[in-house]
A and B are shown apart, each in its own frame.
Chain A
Amino acid sequence: MKTFASIYIGSYEVTMKVFEISTEKKLKEIDCLRANLDILRDINTSGSVSLETTDRLCEILSDMKKTMKMYRCDNYRIFAGFMLHTAANELFVLEQIRIRVKLSVKLLSNSEHRFLGYEAVASQKDFKSIINEGAVIVDVGGASFQITLFDEGKVVTTQQIMFGTYSLHQSLINLGSMPDYQSQIPILVDKEIDVFIKMYLGDRKPKYMIIMGDRTTAAVQAGLDAYSREFIETKTAEDILKKFLKRTRKAINGEDFSIDLTDNRHMEALILIHLEILKKLNTEYVMLPGITVNDGIAYDYAYGEGLLRSPHDFENDVLSACWSIAERYGSYEPHLLALENFSLQIMDAMKKYHGLSKRHRLLMRCVCILHDCGKYISISEQADCSYAIIESSEILGLSHKERMMVATTVAFNRKELEPYEAMADRFSEEEYNVIVKLLAILKVANAMDRSHKQKFKSVKMTLKNRQLIISTESDSSAALEKGMFRGKANFFEQTFAIRPVIHEKRVI
């Protein structure tokens, strides 16, 4: 059994959860500390985190460290939300924590943040059957909210909408004096959700909505006769939330003391956003597992350390999301499949020489699936367009950095590779090497299906005398492929010091 602490520094709250992890008990929360801290307010008002907030943050973390010590935690992870990236003094704050509290904080990108939460949700019972029937996961944060759509067990899309409880809370304060502000406010949320519905939901009718976070869960659970981690009808959840909203408004007006607003200042905004999402997406059922990013951090650690085995295949989600993008932008599926197949064969054959990991293998597959998505926008500017599409598309399961590696690899498939120096601001040398290796494989694989007609059949690859022998059969002329192959082979050889060679056998 391991004891693990996960700390998350959010927009207006710092949370630590302590877990026991064991194969018998899985993940068992044993403590949860939450402290209010308005980091996002600081950033929004002055562009940086104030000294007072930094001091308070250090105090909170120091106290949490004592609790970790008390529980004799075996390990811990501390993450800060994406909003800290936007602070002008982000590095100063992290350095202060490092020096004063002796804790190292990692900043999460939005994708990583959402993925952590998703890891926790996907670890719940019956998740597979839920997504098979169509589901959305809704994760409302201080700075934005995220909707992930599943259809037939696959991720369709993950969209981040830059409108969170903090911004709505500010709007409520600003518009609070207007007589009809309560009817105006939902419009702000609606227009954001409408875009999502139009662009991604279409005719799909997801049956379930899974709501992340524990505040809304607590509000709904309090209104239920009996605690339920199972589904409840959307109408029931809506009714409870509407009642809760009324009470929250009464509390704001000092007429109800049953809600402590010191800890729930954004409650009105949070409930409003959820109510609008419930109304707009109109699923049949809602599930509120009460999961937060802290749970996700713990699951991620447990899976990463091999302490637990995930019941869900997250790689499939990544690939589904990529396929969904490819489909949206009209990519030719047989070509993508051929490319994926060739690339993976090359990787497998070169296992001893390429130095790439299992994770890189996943990136390779993403690169293949997305390599020409930009064509949809501009054939001539395909490289840049592909890059832009990948850069701005959330792919649940990939970190921001990984997504950028995929985008860069795809871009240089059509453009001349830039030297490391030109990319040193974005990637480490190691990451650059990975990009180059993926690119070299992509180029060779792409050349093998240059005509998009999958002429090469029964492809086999073997490594012999510093050559990658690609044995293939074809039933029509593969002159184009072979012609294009040479140029790509040179780049491949420069990268791996191994030359790919095609041995073609014509069959009738």
Chain B
Amino acid sequence: MEKTENKNDYKDPAFYENRELSWLKFNHRILNEARDKDIPLLERTKFLAITSSNLDEFFMVRVASLKDMEHAGYKKPDIAGMTPTEQLKAINEKSKEFVNLQYSTYNRSLLPLMKKEGIQLIDRFEDLNQEQSSFVDHYFQENVYPVLTPMAVDASRPFPLVLNKTLNIVAKIKRKEKGSKLIKLKSGKNEEEFATVQVPSVLPRLIPIPVAEGYTRSFILLEQIIEKNISNLFLNYDVVCAFPYRIMRNADLSFDEDEASDLLKEIEKQLKKRQWGEVIRLEVEDNVDDGLLNLLIDNLNVKRADVFYINGPIDLTVLMKLSGISGYDNLKEEGYTPKTNTRFKKNPNIFEEIKRGDIFLQHPYESFTPVVDFIRTAANDPDVLAIKQTLYRVSGNSPIIAALAKAAENGKQVTVLVELKARFDEENNISWAKMLEKAGCHVIYGIVGLKTHCKIALVVRREEEGIRRYVHLGTGNYNDSTAKLYTDCGILTCRESIGEDATAVFNMLSGYSEPRTWNKLFVAPIWMRNKFISLIDREIYHAKNNNRGLIVAKMNSLCDVEMIAKLYEASAAGVEIHLIVRGICCLKAGVKDLSENIHVSSIVGTFLEHARIFYFYNNGDEEIYMGSADWMPRNLERRVEIIFPVEDEIGKAKAKHILEVQLRDNVKAYYMQPDGEYIRLDKRGKKLVASQRQFCEEAGRNENTENVSWRERVFVPILAPEENQEGDE
């Protein structure tokens, strides 16, 4: 390969995909699920809702950040050679195309199908029948009217603060001839005036209404109820027209952590400021009145290019509620109940069982309960001296938090790192932090300048033979709710080497110096990148010595230039590389003279792929690692992350099996093409493999792998994507 002569060539922007555009492709793959006729209807509505929620977050964070760069005059191109302005332009264009496709899916596929299935969703109040109309008016008077606060807009009353992501209705109103005067327009003409009202977020947006003939269930959207009754808000006025709108603000918190004497208070302060962030997107109905639109554009200080015209109900996240309505089992995926790991079926004593050997957990196929029980048991065990844990995102009524509080009450030394900077979970985490402190836990709010993203729990137990440390390490959050939806892996172990490292991690997080060396863990931000690079280098070395070089890496995102360049180098050296990247992938796969040996797939299924697993063939002496980090600069440089080795034979076999099955997935996997597009494989004549479904089935069976050597498993090479260009897209 020519490229190996100059390694810097691998950083040529032409070899990289822009991360934002790559993310939009990922969201597109989710949208494909909403468009997939083979998927039950209510699952499809759920996928559509997810794309909507994803796009919101993307704008609030990524687009906002690019806007900040643009404002600051930052012109440095990204790894794909695009300046912030160029990226924003491309994102705007692609996003609008995407939104059009979302609403086309909604209007042309989902809505008619819902109708066919007897579900009526009224997104225009004009479609209500008489009975429904009366019900809606009554509902308005009883439930909605008391919580509405209409606000006039004029010279003396500036445009009110419109909260981020809230749905609002802007109305053009005209004073009735004998009515009292509200406020005159700036022009002085006493004709049309404006008002805005927020659709109350305290009320459900999807309201069940009397069922119309020919349907089995009927619903209306809350904003339609308000629009229908809006004249009741302006009794002395005639409402000329009213339209819903929604804005997206910059939600990136920015503060100087070094200067913040109390991180908790500083974040609370910044959260309030988030409501005033710059408006980066305005969504309006596509038939909005020009005058009202101009009013919004002027007062919200938003560029015309950032206005999104919506052909349907604004904010499709409401469909998530719809997908969860009771009944209609034929329109949903069959529910899946996570199975109990067989190790715990045999022996309910968690510490005894861990002592027998590492326990590998695969969620959500296997229940998250053992992890909760691990902390719960420790909290009540008289021999436990201390519990230490990191928390990034926890569930609403977290049993783990309750167990930690209980442990502190029982006199254990409980140290909890609650990451206050976990985006969009800041408020939630602040309240958990306060609650844990009150219970007597030692709460660390995070590390200055870094987000603590690693998932680790340590239980220090005094046993007859001395101190023994039990550790849980995972790829996903300690969140019992998302553990039912996200695919993650974890291990429970009492290996001394890992216990020592876990202790060192918590010492470091508590403000003590880093350990001189790590036994087993790769810890970001300092050591992880070099470790990964050296593991890839080792495969390059083997390949160059005419041995097999093989890397299989599964992660959520891949956009780190150093890592990608190293993968290109490895590919050029003959290392076979299979990447299972759910979301952003800035690497270009299968490109001649660059990445011919790299294959990229992405699995989008019922469960959100979330585990990070890294396999290195190492000339037959295979090594497998898992952890919390993606190959992204933020994970490798700006976060505390942990990657841990899977050393137990059974655990290795399981991890390898996960990768192997996912590489054979030809139902839910997309494969990246040399042009950067993702396609699904041609399934004709092939045995269908849907990895998530297969794992569900496997988890239900009795585990009988203890006598199976993991080395006996071999990777089945996936079909070369280029051979399947006529795939099912």
Q: Which residues of A contact B (CB under 8 A)?
A: 1, 3, 13, 20, 22, 25, 28, 30-36, 63, 66-67, 69-72, 214-215, 217-218, 221-222, 227, 257-260, 263, 290
B514 interfacial by beta-carbon distance below 8 Å: yes
Which residue among B413, B462, B512 has the maximum number of chain A CB atoms within 10 Å of its CB? B512
Contact indicator B530/A30 (Cβ below 8 Å): no
Contact indicator A215/B413 (Cβ below 8 Å): no
Picked from B386, B516, B527, the residue with its CB within 8 Å of the CB of A214 is B516
Shortest Cβ distance from B324 into chain A, in angstroms? 45
- Please name all residues of chain A whose beta carbon is closer than 8 Å to the beta carbon of B507 when the two chains form the complex: 31-34
Contact indicator B527/A258 (Cβ below 8 Å): yes
Contact indicator B467/A20 (Cβ below 8 Å): yes
Known: A33-B507, A218-B517, A290-B516. A258 touches B530 (CB 8 A): yes
Picked from B386, B515, B526, the residue with its CB within 8 Å of the CB of A258 is B526
Q: Which residue of A lies closest to B504 (CB)?
A: A32
- Please name all residues of chain B whose beta carbon is closer than 8 Å to the beta carbon of A25 when the two chains form the complex: 466
- Please name all residues of chain B whose beta carbon is closer than 8 Å to the beta carbon of A3 when the two chains form the complex: 467
CA distance A218 to B517 in the complex (A): 6
- Please name all residues of chain B whose beta carbon is closer than 8 Å to the beta carbon of A290 when the two chains form the complex: 516
- Please name all residues of chain B whose beta carbon is closer than 8 Å to the beta carbon of A32 when the two chains form the complex: 504, 507, 515
- Please name all residues of chain A whose beta carbon is closer than 8 Å to the beta carbon of B513 when the two chains form the complex: 13, 34-36, 263
Q: Which residue of A lies closest to B469 (CB)?
A: A30
Shortest Cβ distance from B158 into chain A, in angstroms? 46
Shortest Cβ distance from B612 into chain A, in angstroms? 21
Contact indicator B516/A70 (Cβ below 8 Å): no
Which residue among A3, A33, A66, A217 has the maximum number of chain B CB atoms within 10 Å of its CB? A33
Q: Which residue of B lies closest to A33 (CB)?
A: B512
B327 interfacial by beta-carbon distance below 8 Å: no
- Please name all residues of chain B whose beta carbon is closer than 8 Å to the beta carbon of A218 when the two chains form the complex: 516-517
Interface size class of B (residues with CB under 8 A): 20 to 34
- Please name all residues of chain A whose beta carbon is closer than 8 Å to the beta carbon of B637 when the two chains form the complex: 257
- Please name all residues of chain B whose beta carbon is closer than 8 Å to the beta carbon of A257 when the two chains form the complex: 525-526, 637
Q: Which residue of B lies closest to A256 (CB)?
A: B530
CA distance A20 to B507 in the complex (A): 19
Q: Which residue of A lies closest to B527 (CB)?
A: A258
Q: Which residues of B contact A (CB under 8 A)?
A: 385-386, 413, 460, 462, 466-467, 503-504, 507, 510-517, 525-527, 529-530, 637
Shortest Cβ distance from A249 into chain B, in angstroms? 17
Known: A34-B512, A257-B637. A70 touches B413 (CB 8 A): yes
Which residue among B385, B386, B504, B516 has the maximum number of chain A CB atoms within 10 Å of its CB? B516
Q: Which residue of B lies closest to A263 (CB)?
A: B513
CA distance A335 to B607 in the complex (A): 89
CA distance A215 to B637 in the complex (A): 23
Shortest Cβ distance from B640 into chain A, in angstroms? 12
Contact indicator B512/A22 (Cβ below 8 Å): no
Contact indicator B516/A215 (Cβ below 8 Å): yes
New A-B pairs, 15, CB < 8 Å, besides A30-B466, A215-B516, A257-B525 = A3-B467, A13-B513, A25-B466, A31-B503, A35-B511, A35-B513, A63-B510, A70-B413, A72-B385, A214-B516, A218-B516, A221-B517, A227-B517, A257-B526, A257-B637
CA distance A259 to B514 in the complex (A): 11
CA distance A28 to B514 in the complex (A): 20
Contact indicator A1/B512 (Cβ below 8 Å): no
CA distance A258 to B530 in the complex (A): 8
- Please name all residues of chain B whose beta carbon is closer than 8 Å to the beta carbon of A260 when the two chains form the complex: 514, 526
CA distance A66 to B413 in the complex (A): 9
CA distance A131 to B61 in the complex (A): 64
CA distance A214 to B171 in the complex (A): 71
Shortest Cβ distance from B412 into chain A, in angstroms? 8
Contact indicator B462/A72 (Cβ below 8 Å): yes
The tally of CB-CB contacts under 8 A between chains A and B is: 59
Shortest Cβ distance from A14 into chain B, in angstroms? 9
CA distance A382 to B236 in the complex (A): 116
Contact indicator A22/B466 (Cβ below 8 Å): yes
Picked from B385, B510, B511, B514, the residue with its CB within 8 Å of the CB of A70 is B385
CA distance A227 to B518 in the complex (A): 11
- Please name all residues of chain B whose beta carbon is closer than 8 Å to the beta carbon of A22 when the two chains form the complex: 466
Contact indicator B462/A217 (Cβ below 8 Å): no
Contact indicator B467/A71 (Cβ below 8 Å): yes
CA distance A71 to B512 in the complex (A): 18
- Please name all residues of chain B whose beta carbon is closer than 8 Å to the beta carbon of A20 when the two chains form the complex: 466-467
Picked from B385, B467, B512, B527, the residue with its CB within 8 Å of the CB of A35 is B512
Known: A72-B385, A72-B462. A222 touches B526 (CB 8 A): no
Q: Which residue of B lies closest to A259 (CB)?
A: B526
24 contacts between A and B (CB under 8 A): A1-B466, A3-B467, A20-B466, A20-B467, A25-B466, A30-B466, A30-B467, A31-B507, A32-B504, A32-B515, A34-B512, A35-B512, A35-B513, A36-B513, A66-B413, A70-B385, A70-B386, A70-B460, A71-B385, A227-B517, A257-B525, A257-B637, A260-B514, A263-B514
Shortest Cβ distance from A44 into chain B, in angstroms? 21
Known: A257-B637, A258-B527. A28 touches B466 (CB 8 A): yes
CA distance A221 to B516 in the complex (A): 10
Shortest Cβ distance from B512 into chain A, in angstroms? 5
Shortest Cβ distance from B383 into chain A, in angstroms? 11
- Please name all residues of chain A whose beta carbon is closer than 8 Å to the beta carbon of B516 when the two chains form the complex: 214-215, 217-218, 290
CA distance A33 to B509 in the complex (A): 11
Shortest Cβ distance from B462 into chain A, in angstroms? 7
- Please name all residues of chain A whose beta carbon is closer than 8 Å to the beta carbon of B514 when the two chains form the complex: 260, 263
- Please name all residues of chain B whose beta carbon is closer than 8 Å to the beta carbon of A63 when the two chains form the complex: 510
Which residue among B467, B510, B529 has the maximum number of chain A CB atoms within 10 Å of its CB? B467
Q: Which residue of A lies closest to B467 (CB)?
A: A30
CA distance A25 to B468 in the complex (A): 14
Shortest Cβ distance from B251 into chain A, in angstroms? 28
- Please name all residues of chain B whose beta carbon is closer than 8 Å to the beta carbon of A72 when the two chains form the complex: 385, 462
- Please name all residues of chain B whose beta carbon is closer than 8 Å to the beta carbon of A214 when the two chains form the complex: 516
CA distance A25 to B496 in the complex (A): 14
CA distance A257 to B511 in the complex (A): 19
- Please name all residues of chain A whose beta carbon is closer than 8 Å to the beta carbon of B413 when the two chains form the complex: 66-67, 69-70
3 cross-chain pairs, A with B, having the tightest CB-CB distances, nearest first:
A218-B516, A34-B513, A70-B413
- Please name all residues of chain A whose beta carbon is closer than 8 Å to the beta carbon of B527 when the two chains form the complex: 258
CA distance A259 to B507 in the complex (A): 18
CA distance A218 to B503 in the complex (A): 18
CA distance A258 to B533 in the complex (A): 12
CA distance A214 to B504 in the complex (A): 15
Contact indicator B466/A222 (Cβ below 8 Å): no
- Please name all residues of chain A whose beta carbon is closer than 8 Å to the beta carbon of B530 when the two chains form the complex: 258
Which residue among B386, B413, B513, B527 has the maximum number of chain A CB atoms within 10 Å of its CB? B513
Shortest Cβ distance from A388 into chain B, in angstroms? 40
Shortest Cβ distance from A13 into chain B, in angstroms? 7
Shortest Cβ distance from B517 into chain A, in angstroms? 5
CA distance A7 to B467 in the complex (A): 19
Q: Which residue of A lies closest to B442 (CB)?
A: A66
- Please name all residues of chain B whose beta carbon is closer than 8 Å to the beta carbon of A71 when the two chains form the complex: 385, 460, 467
Shortest Cβ distance from B519 into chain A, in angstroms? 9
Shortest Cβ distance from A53 into chain B, in angstroms? 16
CA distance A188 to B516 in the complex (A): 28
CA distance A222 to B511 in the complex (A): 23
Shortest Cβ distance from A298 into chain B, in angstroms? 15
CA distance A134 to B510 in the complex (A): 43
CA distance A63 to B503 in the complex (A): 15
- Please name all residues of chain A whose beta carbon is closer than 8 Å to the beta carbon of B517 when the two chains form the complex: 218, 221-222, 227
CA distance A20 to B467 in the complex (A): 8
CA distance A221 to B503 in the complex (A): 21
- Please name all residues of chain A whose beta carbon is closer than 8 Å to the beta carbon of B529 when the two chains form the complex: 258
CA distance A184 to B337 in the complex (A): 70
CA distance A32 to B462 in the complex (A): 17
CA distance A135 to B526 in the complex (A): 36
Which residue among A25, A66, A259, A263 has the maximum number of chain B CB atoms within 10 Å of its CB? A263
Shortest Cβ distance from B131 into chain A, in angstroms? 67
- Please name all residues of chain A whose beta carbon is closer than 8 Å to the beta carbon of B386 when the two chains form the complex: 70
CA distance A474 to B526 in the complex (A): 77
Q: Which residue of B lies closest to A219 (CB)?
A: B516
CA distance A32 to B385 in the complex (A): 16
